[in-house]
Structure 1
Amino acid sequence: MSDLPGLPRFRTFTFAAGVLAVVLAGGCAAPGESKDSGSSGTGPIKIALVDAQSGQLSSLGKWEYKGAKLAVDEWNTAGGINGRKIRLDVFDDQGDPTVGTNIARKIDSQKYLAMIGTAESAVTIAMAPTLRQAEIPNIASGQSPGMVALKSPFLFLNGPTSTTYDETLAKYLVDTKKLKKIAFISNNGAYGKGEHDAFLKALSGRGITPVDDEVVTTDQKDFSAQLTKIRQRQPQVVFIGAEEVESGLIVKQARDLGINAPFAGAAPQGTPVFRDTAGAANAEGTIVSSPYLSNDTSAATKKFAAAYKAAFGEEAELHGAKAYDGTQIMLTAMKNSGVATGKKLADAIRAVKYEGLMGDFAFDATGVGITATSIGIIRKGTLVKAEG
């Protein structure tokens, strides 16, 4: 199946198993018009997936859609939940918090039971108050601690927060590799700020101050001024707190400026988009903290990757795996609760103990279910587990 095209604001796409369609098999109504999508209904169970399907962050949304769709297809093939099919409708937030907030109101008015997404921390944070008021449970893929700080009982994370990613990274770089001259370059968005603050805290706890700390904007394309300052400091490693495309551009420009130090970061630096944007040779040696280093980690990841490849004709990666886990947890909670809604569904999600691709999920009161990552290094274009 080809990638989704860019969607206009609020346009909703519904997916049948393996086929892009206006309406999923098992329900003939348009989004928001099913006879009854509540716990006592007999129509399709409606779940919204909200992510960037257009713009610079669209790769995240497309990966997330595919992981969620794979899980939904598995459940529908097995009969759905209590004989009801699951309908997954996709909304394009364009990576824009304002668009996301308006979509939150839309999925409330159209009576969606739950939401998967977003993969963009800033959009998730913007949507959270509306979803909380509407009592719509949301399993998101971002990692900013700002999401946890909201203390919404309806917001859950399908992976670790930046605190976990960056404490693991600091432990490897400082405790294991004994590196002390570390430079920062991060953006001023919710993700970048979360990464910056979490890694800075991890270093401060080890008595280390960055040799340079550069902040860029989320839409910046030329980093020569910041990278020139970093080069003058001669760091042993450069920490990046930015999304996939921006991180790749930073690394490419850094190499052009003669910066040879390895780069280090979290989930974005482990993706094919980062590698391809930076160039494989430039990305070589990048150090990555991630809960999902490889499709070959376990029997479960191998099975998932094979199913993903068969369905979409491409290799699976972290974001698709996270969305798959989150959707499996959501659907399990729906089954366990008899397709409950609102607080009852949120409580059912919190009660799920799930052995997932990311690890063993057990949600705490903050909505965090995974608190561990591993360290990988890009070698010859592939992320492999680091030694030591």
Structure 2
Amino acid sequence: MSHRVGPTRIGSRAFAAVAMAAVLAGGCAAPGESKDSGSSGSGPIKIAVIDAQSGQLSSLGKWEYKGAKLAVDEWNKAGGVNGRKIRLDVFDDQGDPTVGTTLARKIDSQKYIAMLGTAESAVTIAMAPTLRQAEIPNIASGQSPGMVALKSPFLFLNGPTSTTYDDTLAKYLIDGKKLKKIAMISNNGAYGKGEHDAFLKALSGRGITPVADEVVTTDQKDFSAQLTKIRQKQPQAVFIGSEEVESGLIVKQARDLGITAPFAGAAPQGTPVFRDTAGVANVEGTIVSSPYLSNDTSDATKKFAAAYKAAYGEEAELHGAKAYDGAQILLTALKNSGVATGRKLADAIRAVRYQGLMGDFAFDQTGVGISATSIGVIKKGNLVKAEG
């Protein structure tokens, strides 16, 4: 039965440059060794957040940390888990898979019993083998189907995969709006490849071949060659499979080149970073597939948004909400299992049924707990539920 719990996406670089950024607030402490951690029965329960806290993807990591911290603070205020405080430490992976893998080994050696993050699919995929060997459960925020393909019993997703996002989007564009001339532009990273493949499959299943299918690199800044090809095809809509900043740059340059068709995409296109990078006028009419369209969707989202605003002085959004759900699920599993570790904790996470901000979570054996999104449209800078 569903229930609500709790109080109410460097090789040779020096590791010191990446070591953890510890946050000393609300029951959080600097990372380090602890004799009394894990399931020892006393002392703080050590949970790691690993995400980009610097670099182009840092907005994702900061949103995720804030959402997770909000949940942890609520639990600590109410007494913690089975009388033990939760210690939440944040580490900066810089959006780099190599750094992420090094950090995975570090949290194992420092006896963290679970991990929240990352929001970057490529980093999560790189870390997964190490976390699996260490038997550290990981609730991640990326959406690449590549994470599911790993078939790790220790990896869970706190939102839908690209398959769900993009099939919902194709259904709206093709089945609903009857569009037939759709162009695609995506990047070659783990997230972009996942989006590209999922949306292309959704189009193919509906008998549609994209009029253009352009792939860019993750660090590209000039998209004029690809966008010129797209403009020549005169599409009715342009699917974009890229993270927030790159997506915003693509849209801004597209408008400068005279492309007037609406853009369509998934989670990144629903964020303030995308909107502000592209410009409010340029994102008008963008179609977004998301499990979290706004803070006003329900009483639960309103309550979460109010608490987030009070804690951080800013508006909540999808990534913070996903991380909040993920943290709530993890803490519930810890409570239900008597602060189990390893496979027992992973099994306890899989057993949780949780009515979250994203929807009703019920994890399957692949680690997916949510399989639905809604369609929104950006109007005057705000994402609102689409009509029809």
TM bin, normalised by shorter chain, reads over 0.9
- Superposed CA offset, 1:185-239 (max 9, x none): 0000000000000000000000000000000000000000000000000000000
Hey, what does 2:92 align to over in structure 1? Answer: 92
* SS of corresponding position for 2:62: helix
Hey, what does 2:6 align to over in structure 1? Answer: none
Structure 1: distance between partners of 2:69 and 2:33:
21
Letter matched to residue 61 of structure 1: G
Hey, what does 2:233 align to over in structure 1? Answer: 233
Paired residues for 1:112-123 under 5 Å: 112-123=112-123
Hey, what does 2:338 align to over in structure 1? Answer: 338
1:205 corresponds to 2:237: no
Q: Which of 9, 14, 39 is the equivalent residue of 2:18? A: 9
Q: Once the 2 structures are TM-superposed, how far is the Cα of residue 32 of structure 1 from its aligned partner?
A: 3.4
Letter matched to residue 317 of structure 1: E
Q: Which moved more, 1:31-40 or 1:57-66?
A: 31-40
Structure 1: distance between partners of 2:41 and 2:276:
47
Letter matched to residue 304 of structure 1: F
Paired residues for 1:256-295 under 5 Å: 256-295=256-295
Hey, what does 2:177 align to over in structure 1? Answer: 177
* SS of corresponding position for 2:370: coil
Paired residues for 1:50-69 under 5 Å: 50-69=50-69
* SS of corresponding position for 2:59: helix
- Superposed CA offset, 1:216-274 (max 9, x none): 00000000000000000000000000000000000000000000000000000000000
* SS of corresponding position for 2:22: strand
Q: Once the 2 structures are TM-superposed, how far is the Cα of residue 36 of structure 1 from its aligned partner?
A: 1.8
Letter matched to residue 8 of structure 1: A
* SS of corresponding position for 1:308: helix
Q: Once the 2 structures are TM-superposed, how far is the Cα of residue 39 of structure 1 from its aligned partner?
A: 1.6
Contact 1:15 1:88 in 2 (8 A): no
Q: Once the 2 structures are TM-superposed, how far is the Cα of residue 326 of structure 1 from its aligned partner?
A: 0.1
* SS of corresponding position for 2:91: strand
Q: Once the 2 structures are TM-superposed, how far is the Cα of residue 12 of structure 1 from its aligned partner?
A: 3.8
Structure 2: distance between partners of 1:190 and 1:93:
16
Letter matched to residue 34 of structure 1: S
Tell me how many residue pairs correspond in the alignment: 373
* SS of corresponding position for 1:50: strand
Structure 2: distance between partners of 1:240 and 1:323:
24
Hey, what does 2:219 align to over in structure 1? Answer: 219
Structure 2: distance between partners of 1:353 and 1:385:
27
Letter matched to residue 200 of structure 2: L
* SS of corresponding position for 1:126: helix
Q: Once the 2 structures are TM-superposed, how far is the Cα of residue 68 of structure 1 from its aligned partner?
A: 0.3
* SS of corresponding position for 2:23: strand
Contact 2:34 2:110 in 1 (8 A): no
1:322 corresponds to 2:322: yes
Q: Provide structure 2 residue ranges, at least 5 long, that are not aligned to the other structure.
A: 1-15
Letter matched to residue 20 of structure 2: R
Structure 1: distance between partners of 2:98 and 2:298:
40
Letter matched to residue 312 of structure 1: Y
Hey, what does 2:141 align to over in structure 1? Answer: 141
Structure 2: distance between partners of 1:352 and 1:130:
24
- Superposed CA offset, 1:127-184 (max 9, x none): 0000000000000000000000000000000000000000000000000000010000
Structure 2: distance between partners of 1:46 and 1:98:
23
Deviation above 4 Å: which 4+ runs of structure 1? none
Contact 1:15 1:87 in 2 (8 A): no
* SS of corresponding position for 1:186: strand
Q: Once the 2 structures are TM-superposed, how far is the Cα of residue 82 of structure 1 from its aligned partner?
A: 1.4
Q: Provide structure 1 residue ranges, at least 5 long, that are not aligned to the other structure.
A: 1-6, 25-29
Structure 1: distance between partners of 2:17 and 2:359:
36
Letter matched to residue 50 of structure 2: V
Instruction: Give aligned-pair identity as a percent.
Output: 88
Letter matched to residue 73 of structure 1: D
Contact 2:20 2:31 in 1 (8 A): no
> TM-score normalized by structure 2?
0.95
